[in-house]
A and B are shown apart, each in its own frame.
Chain A
Amino acid sequence: MTDRLRISVSGVRGTVPEALDVDVASRFASAFASYLESGPIAVCRDTRISSEMLGMAVMASLMAAGLDGINLGQIPVPFLQFYLGRNGCTGGIAVSAGHNPLPWNALVLLSEAGYYLESTEGPEVFNIYEAGSFKKASWKELGKVQPRSFPLEQYLDALAGLINRPRLQEAGFKLVADPCNGVVSSFLAPYCEHFNLNLVAINDEPTKPFPHPPEPSPDNASQTQAVVKASTADLGILTNSDGSRLSLVDERGTALSEELTFPLCLLALEGRVSRAVSTVATTSLVDWAAQRAGIRLLRTRVGQSAVTHTMAAEEAEVGGEGSGSLAYLPFSPGYDGMLALTLLLDWMAARERPLSELADVFPPLVRRKLRIAVPPAQTYKVMDRLEETYAREHLDSTDGIRVERPGAWFIIRPSTTEFILRIMVEGEDEDAVDSIGDEIQERIQG
C-alpha cells in the first residue's frame, strides 16, 4: 500500500523511492513552474535523508522552466510561508512530509502569499503534470536558484510583535523541546535567546533519523515528559518534522493531547480576535474555548488548505485543528508550531499560572482516535456503505461522516495523505466513547 503516490490539494506525497522518486519530483516541480509561469519560487526542505535529493530535482526543474528560485535550505515550512508573504515570490515548494513517518516525503505547493493551494488550484497543477507538457526555457532564459539564509531576526521580531516580549523575558521560563531531529532543531537556541527562555533540547540533531514518529502527541511524548520532570521545567513541547504542529507537556510532566493546543491558543487570544476557523474533526473543546474567549467559531473541512482559505474568506484571524495546528493570519497563513508556542508562553507569563492549571479549565472529555487501514480501491465503497448506515444521524456533510449523539460525537473520513480511514470519537463518558469506537470498527470491517 505504501507504493502509491498520493496527490492532493497540498501537493504530492509518497514513500521514497517506491512512490515518490526523483522523476516524479522533477515532473511535479516542472508542472508547478509551468502553472505559475514566472518566478521566483522559494524552496525549502526538512531534514529527511531524501529531501536533499528531491530538492535538487525540484531546483533543476524550476531552472529548466526559466523560473528563478530562492533556496532557503533546511527551515520549517511555516518559515517558508512567513517568507512568501513578505518577499515578492510567485509561489513556494516545501520538500517535507510533516508528520508522516520516515520513508515518506512530499512536495507541498504554496501560493505567492504562503497559503496551501486552494482546492481549485491544485488540480490545475496535476492536469499539467499528467499532460506532461512543461514550460521550457532556452539556455539564455534558464532560471537561477540562489541560496539565501532565512531572515530569522525578522521572523523572531514579528513573533515578538504579537506579544509582550519584556514580560515573557522577565518570566524566564524553562522549556524542554523535542523537535524530533527535524528542521526546528537548529532554530530552538536563537528562539529561546530571543525570549530569554532556558532551553533543554532533546532529539535536536538534524542529521540523525527521527527518534520516534514525527507526530506531536502524548504517544510520542514519554521522553519529553521524563525530561520535564527531571529538569523541573515550566513546559515541554514536541513538534513535527516541518515545524507546523505542536503538542504540550505541562510542568508536572503530563502530556496534553494535541487536541488541546488549539483551544488553549484560543483562550490565550481572548480579546484579540473575533472569529476563528476550525474543522469538523476537531475536538468540541474549541467550541467551549471560543465561547469562553468571546470568539465566533466556524467549522470547515479538514486540512490546512480548507482552514486557511476559509479564514481568509470569512475574515477570521485565527484557525487551527486538533492535530496541534494553529495559524494566525496577521502573522502568516501557515500552521506554525513556534507561533503557537509563543502565544501560549505569553499567556502563561500574563496569567502567572502554571500550564497544568491553565489547561485544567476544560470540561473533562474523553477522546479516541482510530486509524483503520483500507485498500485504496475500497475506500469510497466503504464510505458509501457507512453513509447508508449512518444516514439518519449523519447531518453534517462538510467532510466525511460526522454524527452527533447525546454526550458524544464522532467523525469518519478518509485521510488525504495515507490509505487509512481516520476516526475520532469524543464524549463525556469513557465507556460510551469506547463502545462507539468498537461499533464503527465493526461496521468498517464487517
Chain B
Amino acid sequence: MRISDLKISISGIRGIVGESLTPQLLIKFSEAFASYIGRGEIAVASDTRPSAEMVRCAVLAGLLSCGAEPLDLGILPIPSLQIYVQEKKLHGAVSITASHNPVEWNALKLIKSGGLFLSPYEAEELLDYYYQGRFRRVPEPERIEAEENPFVIHAQKIRRAGRLDAITKRRPMVVVDPCAGAASPYVRGFLEGLGAEVICIHCETGKGFPRNPEPVAANLGKLCHAVRQAGADIGFAQDADADRLAVVDEKGRPIGEEYTLALAVDYFLAEREKSPVVVNLSTSRVIDDIARCRGVPLFRTRVGEINVTRKMREVDAFIGGEGNGGIIWAEIHTCRDSFSGMALILEYLASSGKTVSELRSRLPDYIMLKDKVKASFRDRKRILERLSRRFPKGESDRQDGLRIVYPEFWFHVRPSNTEPVMRMQVEAGQEDLAREIFGQIKAEINSSRSDR
C-alpha cells in the first residue's frame, strides 16, 4: 500500500511542501473554505515555517477568489488567532501551521466564527465543497487588509484575568523556548507584562526550527541547560503554533507534558474556582485524582480540541484541556493556549511560594508510554475487538477507539484519522507494569494485522 503524505481530512489539509502540498491545492482548499463559510472577513495567520509565505500567498489568492475579505495578521500563535476572531467578530480564519510536525510539513487549520475549529460535521461539509469543486468564485474580489499588532488582544485578555500583583511580587525568573515559532515575536513581552524576569532562547525567527517543535522531554535539552545555567525558577517550551506548553522545573528537569495540565488544573480548582473539568480520553489519570480530591466532576471526550471545547461549553467547565500540554482556560477562550497555561502556572508559583519541583511532587506519579503502531485501515476493527477480549475485566469506553481502565493501569488505542496507524497509550503507577501492558497490547495489535 502506498500512503500519500497529503492528508485531507476533517482537521484540514496537511502535507509536505515540495511534494504534495502545492500552491494549486492550497488555493483550491482556501476557495472551498471561503465558499463554505460565506462572504465576510477571514483572518489569515501563520507560524514561522519557511514555507509560510508561499502558503500565505496561495491562501490569500483562494480566499479572494471566492469573495472573502482577507485580513492578513502575519505571524501569530493559533490561540491568539482564535481569540482575535472571537473578539473582532470575524467570519472565520485560516491558520497556516503544522503545529508540532517537522519543518518540511505545513497545513491549513480552519476556524469559524467565535474562534472555534470546525466541528466534524462542518468539516465534512467543507470537504464536500472541496471535492465537488463548489467554489463561489466572484468577478470582483475584495482587497487584502493587514493588521500590525494582532497579539495585543490576547495579551490584554490574559492580563485582565490574571493575578499580576502576586506574580510581580515574586518576580520569577523564567526561561522560555518558543522554538522560533509563532510565539517568538511576542512571548518575551507577554511574560514581562505578567511580572516575570525573562530569558528567551530560540526566539529568532526566519531560519526554520532550532529543535523538533514537539514540546516533549527529548526535545528540551537546551531549555533544561539554560534553566540550570541561569538558576531560573521555571522553564517553558511552546510548540510552533503555541497551543501546547511543556514545563521544566528549577533543577532543569522536564516534568513531563502530562503534568503541565495537571499543575494548571490543580491550581485552578484550589485557588481560583471550582468547576467541572474536561479532558480527552488520552489524558493522564492524574487529572482524575485531582478532580476527585477537589470534589468536581471530570468529563472525557474524543481526542481533538473541538471535542473538548464543545464539552466544556456544554457542562460549563472553566478549565480543561489535553494531556499533551494543551491547557484551556475558558475565561480567555475555549482553545488550547500556552499563554493561558504560563499565566496560571506562574500564578501558582507566586501564590504557593513553592518551587516547581515541590508543586510537582504533590501530585501522584504515573508513567505514561506512547507509541504508534502500523495497522492498515481494514484491520482496525478487528484489532479493537481482540484487545477488548484480551482485557475483559476493565471498564471500557468506545467513544474514540478503545480505552480500558483497570485500577492499576489504563490504556487507550485509537486509529489515526489520517494515517494507517493506531496510536496507543498506556499509563500505570509502576513503570514495570506499564511496560508489561504496553508489550502485551503491541503484540496483540501485531498479531491481528492481516499483513503480518
Contact = CB atoms under 8 A, between A and B. Distances in A.
Interface of A: 15-17, 21-23, 25-27, 30, 49-50, 52-54, 56-57, 59-61, 63-64, 103, 134, 136-145
B281 interface: no
Contacts of A143: 54
5 contacts: A23-B31, A49-B141, A60-B26, A60-B27, A138-B104
Contacts of B62: 22
A300 B347 CA distance: 80
B58 interface: yes
B55 A22 contact: no
Nearest to B17: A139
B358 interface: no
Nearest to B54: A63
A21 B103 contact: no
Contacts of B28: 23
Contacts of A138: 17-18, 104
Contacts of B140: 49-50
A282 B139 CA distance: 34
A17 B31 CA distance: 12
A145 B53 contact: yes
Nearest to B18: A138
Contacts of B22: 30, 64, 134, 136
Contacts of A25: 61
B24 A103 contact: no
Contact of B143 (A16, A27, A52): A52
Nearest to A135: B18
B54 A53 contact: no
B27 A142 contact: no
Interface string B20-56: 0011101110010000000000000000011101111
B57 A145 contact: yes
A126 B393 CA distance: 66
A22 B24 CA distance: 8
A90 to B, nearest CB: 19
B64 A61 contact: no
Contacts of A49: 140-141, 143
Given A17-B137, A53-B61, A140-B50, A26 B18 contact: no
Given A52-B143, A53-B65, A57-B58, A26 B104 contact: no
Given A30-B24, A50-B140, A50-B141, A64 B61 contact: no
A144 B52 CA distance: 11
Contacts of B64: 22, 52-53, 56
B53 A144 contact: yes
Interface string B48-79: 01110111111011101100000000000000
B27 A52 contact: no
A141 B54 CA distance: 12
Nearest to A29: B23
A21 B135 CA distance: 11
B106 to A, nearest CB: 8
B316 interface: no
Task: Pick from A50, A53, A139, A142 the residue with the most CB of B within 10 Å.
Answer: A139
Contacts of B298: none
Given A52-B143, A56-B64, A64-B58, 17 more contacts: A17-B137, A17-B138, A22-B61, A25-B61, A30-B24, A49-B143, A50-B140, A50-B141, A53-B61, A53-B65, A57-B23, A60-B23, A103-B139, A136-B19, A137-B18, A142-B50, A143-B54
Nearest to B138: A17
A148 to B, nearest CB: 15
Given A60-B61, A138-B17, A22 B53 contact: no
Contact of B58 (A26, A27, A141): A26
Contact of B61 (A26, A103, A142, A144): A26
Contacts of B27: 22-23, 26, 57, 60
Given A26-B24, A60-B27, A139 B104 contact: yes
Given A16-B139, A17-B139, A138-B17, A56 B24 contact: no
B61 A54 contact: yes
Contact of B18 (A21, A59, A136): A136
